[in-house]
C-alpha cells in the first residue's frame, strides 16, 4: 500500500511538491499558498481549488494529517509517509540537478 503511494507520488507535481515541502511545519491552505509565492518569487502559484483538492487527496493518501482548526481554517502537517515521499523526491531532484551540471554517479 505504502509502496503504491510512493510510486504514485514520485515524481511529484510542482503543486504537490511545494505543499508537502511546506507542511514540514503546521500550516493551513492559504498560508501554504502565500509561502510558496514568496519562496518562488511568484513563479509558482497554487489557486484555492487546486489547493483544496490536493490537500484533500494527500490527507486521504496519508501523506499529511489534519492537526486542528483555527477560525474555520484547517491546519495540516506532514506524516511519516509524507516525509519518506518528500525524501525520495528530494534525492531525485538532487540527482537531476547533479547530472544536469555534469556530475555523474559513475564519476565519468
The site for another protein (CB under 8 A) is made up of: 13-15, 28-30, 33, 42, 45-54, 56, 69, 71-74
Nearer to another protein, 57 or 95 (CB): 57
- State the minimum distance, in angstroms, from the CB of residue 85 to another protein: 17
Nearer to another protein, 67 or 83 (CB): 67
Nearer to another protein, 31 or 79 (CB): 31
Q: Give the number of other CB atoms < 10 A from CB of residue 92.
A: 13
**Cα–Cα distance measured from residue 3 to residue 9, given in angstroms and rounded to the nearest whole number:** 10
- State the minimum distance, in angstroms, from the CB of residue 98 to another protein: 27
CB 14 within 8 A of CB 44: yes
Nearer to another protein, 13 or 25 (CB): 13
- State the minimum distance, in angstroms, from the CB of residue 43 to another protein: 12
Distances from the Cα of 89 to the Cα of 56, 66, 67, 69, 80, angstroms: 20, 22, 24, 29, 14
Asked if residue 11 has a cis previous peptide bond (ω within 30° of 0), the answer is yes
Amino acid at each position: 500500500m505504502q509502496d503504491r503511494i510512493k510510486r504514485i507520488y514520485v515524481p511529484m507535481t510542482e503543486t504537490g511538491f511545494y505543499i508537502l515541502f511546506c507542511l514540514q511545519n503546521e500550516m493551513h491552505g492559504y498560508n501554504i499558498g502565500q509561502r510558496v509565492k514568496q519562496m518562488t518569487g511568484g513563479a509558482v502559484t497554487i489557486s484555492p481549488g487546486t489547493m483544496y483538492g490536493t490537500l484533500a487527496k494527500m490527507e486521504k493518501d496519508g501523506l499529511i494529517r489534519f492537526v486542528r482548526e483555527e477560525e474555520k481554517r484547517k491546519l495540516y502537517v506532514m506524516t511519516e509517509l509524507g516525509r519518506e515521499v518528500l525524501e525520495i523526491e528530494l534525492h531525485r531532484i538532487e540527482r537531476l540537478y547533479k547530472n544536469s551540471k555534469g556530475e555523474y554517479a559513475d564519476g565519468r
